[in-house]
Each structure stands twice: as C-alpha cells, then as structure tokens.
Structure 1
C-alpha cells in the first residue's frame, strides 16, 4: 500500500533526515500494523526490532516481580521504541505495549545500529530523541513519587492526547490505574472531579477531553517539563517530506506480559 508523502503522516525522526540518509534507511524499514495490547518486547528481552510509530502510541512499562506495573514513558510519532538497540545495550530495561492501535515502521535492531554508525545525521537524531526520552522517564519517576493521583491523571491524559488526533482516548479507568501504578478507585475519583469541573467526560472505554487548557492548569509541572523536552527536539529537526511504498501491513498478534498488565 502507498504511504502518503505528507510529513505529518510519518514518524518525525525519519522526516528530519537528509534525503541520502533516508534513502539508505528506508531499505530496511517494514510497514506494520500495531494492534492495541500488542507486546513489542518485554523487560529484559534481547531486542530484535525497533519501531518508529506513525499512528500507533506505545507505552513503555516497568514491571515488578509482584506483577505491579507502571508506565515510565509514552512514544508516538515523535520517537522510536527500542533505544537500547542503538545505544549498545542488547536488552531492554522496560517492556513496550501498544496503547493505541495504529501503524508504524519496523526495522531490525542490527540494522538500526549499523545505520546509526554510518550516518552522523541519523545518530544525532536518535541521540537527541534519547535525551528527551530520558527527561521523560526521569520526570515520570519524580511525578509518581511526589504528586497526587489527580495531578498524575492530568499529566497522563495530556501526554497521550499529544500523540494522537482528536480529543478522545480509548482507555478504561482500570487501564490508566495499571499504567500509573495506583488503585483504580483513585483514578475513578480523580476522573469524577475532572468531569464535574467540565474538563473531561467519560464512558466505558473512552475518555473525552473537553477543556485542554483547564487540564493543563490542574496538571503538575511534570507535563510542561516533558512537553518542552520534545518541543526542543522538534525545533532542532528540519522536516523533509518523503514517500514510502510498502507491502500490506502485517498484523502482530498481542502477547501477554509475564507480569500481567491491567488491560482494558
């Protein structure tokens, strides 16, 4: 199927590459379907592929032996899933689960490492993104430790909203609680407060954001810190429209995490 040549339809890290670097990289890319709940890899697993989300959104999650989980970062079309592959690490310290179904570009871990070594432009893009991702992870950790559930809920909604079109998030309170590492009752109570304030509405399996500015006002500073890190990354890139032709998307079968996630 043809892939639109419009820059907004592509992963932003790839759009910013010079033509020669893109032409070398695209030979290794595969257009794939990423269904909700698909586990791209688990914590401690040796990475075989990296993923550049296009319309999909992926949660990076940390899992405990007890089965408890927490989202440490979220990746959309601004980034890449599997940074360990080009940083010299063979295995990941977190799992990666598709939160919003969509599509992405996949390539082997070996290919991305080889291409990064050959292309200073690609290496710079990847390292810049990794720096923003580390800021994201660090701020998320601080947020879990120092801010209440209501503020964490606002931050989570805003970060996921940034990575998809529209104002609706297809997610349950149970799923959000699992990703925040808190009790479901805490998320339900926080969501009720936001609905009474006219900021969101919700029904089973869907949260609709009605007043984004109001949500930002109630969120802790963590959202702004993370947003600014990615804004700096976007400002440093010079998007170039490219065109990709690829085969029909290959569906990926969802796989259960060993430490069970509270899936919707």
Structure 2
C-alpha cells in the first residue's frame, strides 16, 4: 500500500513518520454489526478505518442506545477500546480498515513517538465527542441532533456523500417513533436528506420497511442550517468544550 491510497489521515501520518510500516499493514473488512468481529484479536492491533464508519455507543434501557462518538477517516481505534466497559462499538457504515500490529509500536516507541502524539490527539477528540454528544442528547431537539450527528458522520466519511440505513439512525438516536418521524420530515423539507426505499416498502411491517430504507445526504450546508453547534465543537480543536450553541 502507498501513502496516496490511504483515506485515513492518521494512517497517512504513520506512513510519513515510518514509511516501512506499510509492509506490516493488513486490510480487514468492516461488516455491519457489533465490533470487533467474533474471534478477532482486536486488542493486539490499532485499526484505521479507510471506508466505513464505526460508532461508539452506550447501551440504554430496553435495548435502546445512544451513539456518542463516530470513528472514521480522521480516527484510529487503539487497543483497549474493546475492554469491557460502559461503551460498545458497532460498524455503522460498512467498508474496510487497515490494522497494524501494536507490538511493533511497543517494541520501538521512540521510533513511533511523533505518530503517538498524533494518536493521543485523536483519542482526545473521541473523548470530546463523547462529552459533547452526551450534552447534545440532554439539551437539543431531535432534528438538531440528527442534523449535527449526520454532519459528524460526513466529516468522518471519506466520500462527499453518506448513505446509512434508516433503521440504524432510528436505533442510535434513541427517540420515540413520533419524534423520529417529525425530525425526518423537517430535514426532508429543507432538502438536507433524501430517503430511498423499495416500491414494496409500504407492504412491509414497519421494522422491515425501515431496514430496507436508505438515508442519503450530501448537503452539509443544508444540514448546518438545522443543526446545533455540537458538530462544530467536536471538530473545533483540542480546546473545544462541551457547551450549547445556536
């Protein structure tokens, strides 16, 4: 693999700092569902999402969940993210990642020192996402949250457009069906999103119809008109703090 082929900014920095690290990279799929995959020794590697998004979420009551961070092209997933704890990981948008054996870093930390500083900053950004999105859930309306969350996903997505199953979005927002539908109507009315479903969707049970419906967005400017400022706080640098905005 060459530097030019990497969508992930942290992997690009690793290859600039340690060019021969490319020989030790391994491509792995990001398949829909819980992460890590069963049987994967994830604590032995650092993962760099190239295509696709991985969400970090907190289980809620009755199986509900709230996404508190999204990792993609500006992130890496370090060993230790998978230890038992209050957060779990899920592949939100399928794709692939490259992984690098963490023992190589541990055995020569001086050589990887500059890159480790960059990964520390990226880890702080994920922590900042958790803090900001926790605040967002508590203080902002559903349409605002949906727009802000989609902007965070777009920023982490290597493509200018985002496609996500509607059922995934509903599950992660953890709101009532009425609130979810109202937010969708608001975003559609402002041409911020587009829904695509098969012609047979009207004949399917609600959960199956939602699973077969895709949400498309490639309109960050329209989303920004509806969003709170939480996506800006997440992306706004190391000094950003969780707070309200317009």
TM-score (norm: length of structure 1): 0.72
Q: Is the 8 A contact 2:31 2:94 kept in 1?
A: yes
Q: Higher helix fraction: Structure 1 or Structure 2?
A: 2
Q: Is the 8 A contact 2:36 2:42 kept in 1?
A: no
Coordinate RMSD, CA, aligned? 2.9
- Of 67, 78, 84, 1:82 maps to 78
Give yes or no for the alignment of 1:58 onto 2:54. Answer: yes
Q: 1:218 to 1:20 in 2, by over 3 A?
A: closer
Q: Is the 8 A contact 1:46 1:91 kept in 2?
A: no
Question: Within 5 Å, which residues of 2 pair with 1:52-131?
Answer: 52-64=48-60, 66-82=62-78, 84=80, 91=84, 93-114=86-107, 116=109, 118-131=111-124
Q: 1:211 to 1:54 in 2, by over 3 A?
A: closer
Question: Within 5 Å, which residues of 2 pair with 1:168-179?
Answer: 168-172=162-166, 174-179=167-172
In structure 2, the residue matched to 1:6 is 4
Q: Is the 8 A contact 2:32 2:94 kept in 1?
A: yes
Q: Give, in whole Å, the separation in 2 of the partners of 1:135 and 1:168.
A: 23
- Of 185, 190, 193, 1:192 maps to 185
Can you give the 5+ residue segments of structure 1 that lack an aligned partner in the other structure?
Answer: 233-264
What is the total number of aligned residue pairs between the two structures?
221
Cα deviation, 1:138-195, whole Å, max 9, x if unaligned, reads 10110011111111100111111221413242221x3212112222332221011111
SS at match of 1:166: coil
Can you give the 5+ residue segments of structure 2 that lack an aligned partner in the other structure?
Answer: 198-212, 241-246
In structure 1, the residue matched to 2:234 is 226
Flag the structure with more relative contact order, 1 or 2, with Cα contacts below 8 A and sequence separation at least 6.
1
TM-score (norm: length of structure 2): 0.77
Q: 1:78 to 1:140 in 2, by over 3 A?
A: same
Give yes or no for the alignment of 1:156 onto 2:149. Answer: yes
In structure 2, the residue matched to 1:180 is 173
Q: 1:46 to 1:17 in 2, by over 3 A?
A: closer
1:126 Cα shift?
Answer: 1.0
